[in-house]
Homo-oligomer: A and B are copies of this chain.
Amino acid sequence: VHGDLDTPVVAIDLDVVDRNISRMQARATALGLDFRPHMKTHKLPLLAHRQLEAGAVGVACQKVSEAWVMAASGVGPILITYPLIGEVKWRQAARLAAEFEIEFQVDSEVGVEGLAAHLDPAGETPVWVDCDTGRWRTGVSEPSDALSLAKLIDSRPGLRFGGLITHPAPEEAHAWFAEARSVFGTAGIAIPAMSVGGTPVSFSDAPVFELATELRAGTYIYGDRACIAAGSNTEEQCAMRVHATVVSTPAADRAIIDAGSKVLSSDETDGVRDGTYGHVVGMSEVKVSALTEEHGHLDLSACPGDLELGQVIEVIPNHACVVTNLADEVLLHRSGQTVGAVPVAARGRSR
């Protein structure tokens, strides 16, 4: 898709996207799991619709404002996989849930009471309990705490316990969910669903899949350097490429491209914390060794002089989701032909 391209540009290969959607849906089906794609990777209603048409049971959004963009484009049902805390958020959540099919996630009594006080008491909104099974981020630490929250949810008009959810699914998740099943069983409380997530784990033989009922993943649809490192996507299965122009060749061992951290982001992320900020397609000896805002620094020590001024290269970024979040639009193409530039509708929706 080079031609008269104005760089830097974030290009998305729709052929690869279609194949990735089919592949992950087939994987979830083979595991006997529902599949719920995460919107954070593409932030595009048009791709969400394709994921739903392929068999997804719904989608996951992190923030209320992101969910609004998706809901307004006919995408749903939506599970907001984030703890909503505070009057402003609860009011927003209630307004959204009054119009669309929305589910929530909590990890505190405050979170439950806030939703209960604002959502329609005549409704039956699913509220999931976030479980920290080893990620050390949000979520209750113990299955007994999950049980307490589940009981509290069920005791409140308008809410019903939706299930247990964790991200990602570390090895410890299996033991955690097994204990939860036992604890809930003893208390006579059914667990309607158990949701696990993450692109890297999706193609593994994680024991937690025996207990889980739902798989969530996002990054698989585009793929990135971290996915290549984790084995979930090959280079050919990476749909997102940043096209950039060589704008300076000040020394034989150094070149500068016009994509810096404003396009590629400074993210190193799990599996690729190695001081490298992308993979240059077809040029494995070229290292993206540093980024400043508008400059990508290419280390050519292994291939001196191999790039020339004006040359356009393709970079697979370290982390696709954050690149999406930097781009006002992405360029869709298929079979080497441009389809069109589409606004990244849910970009920047961090509230």
**Which residues of chain B come closer than 8 Å to A36, judged between CB atoms?**
none
Interface string of A107-134 (1 = CB under 8 A from B): 1101100000000000000000000100
A256 in contact with B321 (CB, 8 Å): no
**Which residues of chain B come closer than 8 Å to A87, judged between CB atoms?**
4
A85 in contact with B245 (CB, 8 Å): yes
A40 on the B face (CB < 8 A): yes
B263 in contact with A266 (CB, 8 Å): no
Q: Cα distance A325–B254 when bound, in Å?
A: 27
B326 in contact with A295 (CB, 8 Å): no
B328 in contact with A326 (CB, 8 Å): no
11 extra interchain contacts, Cβ-Cβ under 8 A, other than A40-B293, A137-B250? A4-B88, A63-B258, A63-B294, A85-B310, A107-B250, A138-B250, A141-B250, A261-B267, A262-B350, A293-B322, A328-B348
A37 on the B face (CB < 8 A): no
Q: Which of B89, B141, B266, B309 contacts A108 (CB 8 A)?
A: B309
**Which residues of chain B come closer than 8 Å to A139, judged between CB atoms?**
248, 250
Q: Which of B88, B92, B309 contacts A85 (CB 8 A)?
A: B309
B263 in contact with A265 (CB, 8 Å): no
Task: Count chain A residues whose beta carbon lies closer than 8 angstroms to a beta carbon of B.
Answer: 64
Question: Among the interface residues A83, A87, A132, A251, which one has the most CB atoms of the partner chain B within 10 A?
Answer: A83
A244 closest partner in B (C-beta): B350
Q: Which 7 A-B pairs have the closest CB atoms?
A: A138-B248, A85-B247, A266-B266, A62-B294, A83-B247, A262-B350, A6-B88
Which residues of A from 231 to 276 have beta carbons under 8 Å from B?
A: 245-251, 254, 256, 258-263, 265-268
Which residues of A from 33 to 87 have beta carbons under 8 Å from B?
A: 40, 62-63, 82-87
